[in-house]
Structure 1
């Protein structure tokens, strides 16, 4: 396999500059392990998991990668900042599970006090008496947020998340092709590698972002449509059937399920259905929640939640995680070759 050699792939020790995003309720130990085994880098979405649940997924990953209890785990764990902030004492337990397992990275997003958790991770590494640095991934959607992450928090990897992204993100985030050049313009020469996220589905997308100046990409929806994803068959069929106009940014599903602690300015991109329509039409929230609960139990495609980015139309089949990574890598290399052929000597 040909390799991509840049700041991110060298730092991670991987040939493919692709990250499988941490997706709550979707990416577990199997998905993360198989992404990393294929040459990319995989995350577990800790989201709403307990410390026991996180440990179970880490054990699955360790077993699939055939690693001992003392080996570094070449995967990451992603946390929601606002979940950690709800109960700081419990948050320490949630973080310690990942840190004690020697994961390669922690992803922190959507909190009002992210710096606190970055400082905790750094302190844990410093006091543990081990030669191990846990890398910090941080998604940002503005130049100001990037500057804070670079200069105040000194994060290891920045992720520019555009408005095309599936799942949660900042409502006023610019499109990815606007955000990335703006962040690159303020990124110091020795600053952290910049990854791109938002509506990306193909190797051509990856090649285009690499030529724009990023060091890699983060894909979510593409990995929802894998055999290892926790999404059920109804959700996966909805993704396969979706087109470019199927998704919408909304807080309807958070209203329906009662997850309303997100920081100000956050909403999520998902497939539009009757749950969204009811909220838009002013249906009483209690009725929406009753219908949501029934739909979740019955697998009702007209109302259940399916997060998806704008690139969902370009994915038409369910594959194994490893096959997705290998396909992305091959397509990326093909398009990069086409770009290099444009240069006259």
Structure 2
């Protein structure tokens, strides 16, 4: 299939303007590499992982890409900046350095109160080591001001605009994507008409190739799809979670802090919560059931594989996906669908 040419595909050397983001507990080396092996771009999530786990997942991604006779650096690593900030300085810097030492093509930073620190760390590492090709810095934003700062002050390479429809964590104050993306693209230095503008990616509730095409027509250089790839063998989600996703509909998700509370994954910046499939954990949390009771029930549910209480992150587009397919097949399906919708749109003028 022909390349769909955008600023993103030219920058990354890929043919599909699609990025599969770093999703903690989901995006391992297998998912990232299989996505990249067929022309999109995948990220390994560092998440809450140890140094050893991250090394293992990077090595897995590299081995898969090499087996396809591709550049073993054709993937990225994503970091939760607030998690880096909570670690000891040496440990946090070691995690980021691991990715840089392995020459991954890109790093992704989100959800921190000092993202600039980590952008600077990456730039200084590249300069010290005389890297011929700099590490690309992706930054995820939730407001127009964040978009301005990331672009004008931090000089990021790719901007990810996340609408409130996104699965997993995001700002509860984010606008809907169809409002937020055009607002960001109206900034003169990010306008599609600006030759020097960096790629802007759209994220939030996207599930189909037609969705990707619609984002391109709005002026984005690509799209970020996460939930769709949870329903793949390469996803680290278990069978219970995948079954719940396949049975979900357009009303199944809810924004909540219930799961972070019961899991003890607290420390997110102000205003951040998560979108997941609603279940009894959320209902009980909203009704004021004591946290200790919720935690006990949650642990038991995890042990027994009971989805009435366990966590399954998902975006609003979850009702549009029903099948478990390989990550490679999903990319190819999305590419073909996007291409056909772009051609159809061109026929209108």
Tell me the equivalent position of 1:128. 129
Q: Which whole-Å deviations, capped at 9, do the CAs of 1:47-79 have from their partners, x for residues lacking one?
A: 0111110110011111111179xx651000010
Structure 1 residue 243 displacement after superposition: 0.3
Tell me the equivalent position of 1:30. 30
Report the secondary structure of 1:48's partner residue. coil
State which of 234, 247, 252 in structure 1 corresponds to 2:240. 234
Tell me the equivalent position of 1:95. 96
Structure 1 residue 187 displacement after superposition: 4.5
Runs of 4 or more above 2 Å deviation? none
Tell me the equivalent position of 1:182. 183
Structure 1 residue 287 displacement after superposition: 0.7
Tell me the equivalent position of 2:166. 165
Preserved contact between residue 72 and residue 101 of structure 1 (Cα < 8 Å): no
Preserved contact between residue 27 and residue 45 of structure 2 (Cα < 8 Å): yes
Preserved contact between residue 203 and residue 332 of structure 1 (Cα < 8 Å): yes
Tell me the equivalent position of 2:64. 64
Tell me the equivalent position of 1:75. 75
* TM-score for the superposition, normalised by structure 1: 0.97
Alignment: residue pair count: 341
Structure 1 residue 296 displacement after superposition: 1.2
Tell me the equivalent position of 1:306. 312
Q: Which whole-Å deviations, capped at 9, do the CAs of 1:9-61 have from their partners, x for residues lacking one?
A: 10000010000111000010000000000100000111011111011001111
Q: Verify: 1:203 aligned to 2:209, yes or no.
A: yes
Structure 1 residue 132 displacement after superposition: 2.6
Report the secondary structure of 1:14's partner residue. coil
Tell me the equivalent position of 2:54. 54
State which of 325, 331, 336 in structure 1 corresponds to 2:331. 325
Report the secondary structure of 2:282's partner residue. helix
Q: Verify: 1:110 aligned to 2:111, yes or no.
A: yes
2-side partners of 1:20 and 1:213: how far apart? 19
Q: Which whole-Å deviations, capped at 9, do the CAs of 1:198-230 have from their partners, x for residues lacking one?
A: 000000000000001000000000011111000
Structure 1 residue 130 displacement after superposition: 2.8
Structure 1 residue 129 displacement after superposition: 2.6
Report the secondary structure of 1:180's partner residue. helix
**Uncovered stretches (5+) of structure 2, i.e. residues with no partner:** none
Moved more, 168-177 or 295-304: 295-304
Preserved contact between residue 102 and residue 132 of structure 1 (Cα < 8 Å): no
1-side partners of 2:2 and 2:208: how far apart? 18
Preserved contact between residue 160 and residue 197 of structure 1 (Cα < 8 Å): yes
Tell me the equivalent position of 1:261. 267
2-side partners of 1:86 and 1:67: how far apart? 37
Preserved contact between residue 72 and residue 104 of structure 1 (Cα < 8 Å): no
1-side partners of 2:188 and 2:44: how far apart? 28
2-side partners of 1:318 and 1:4: how far apart? 25
Preserved contact between residue 63 and residue 72 of structure 2 (Cα < 8 Å): no
* TM-score for the superposition, normalised by structure 2: 0.96
**Pairwise CA RMSD:** 1.1
Tell me the equivalent position of 2:151. 150
Report the secondary structure of 1:97's partner residue. helix
2-side partners of 1:277 and 1:149: how far apart? 37
1-side partners of 2:325 and 2:49: how far apart? 25
2-side partners of 1:192 and 1:291: how far apart? 47
Tell me the equivalent position of 1:341. 347
Structure 1 residue 332 displacement after superposition: 0.3
Q: Verify: 1:273 aligned to 2:279, yes or no.
A: yes
Report the secondary structure of 2:74's partner residue. strand
Preserved contact between residue 23 and residue 47 of structure 1 (Cα < 8 Å): yes
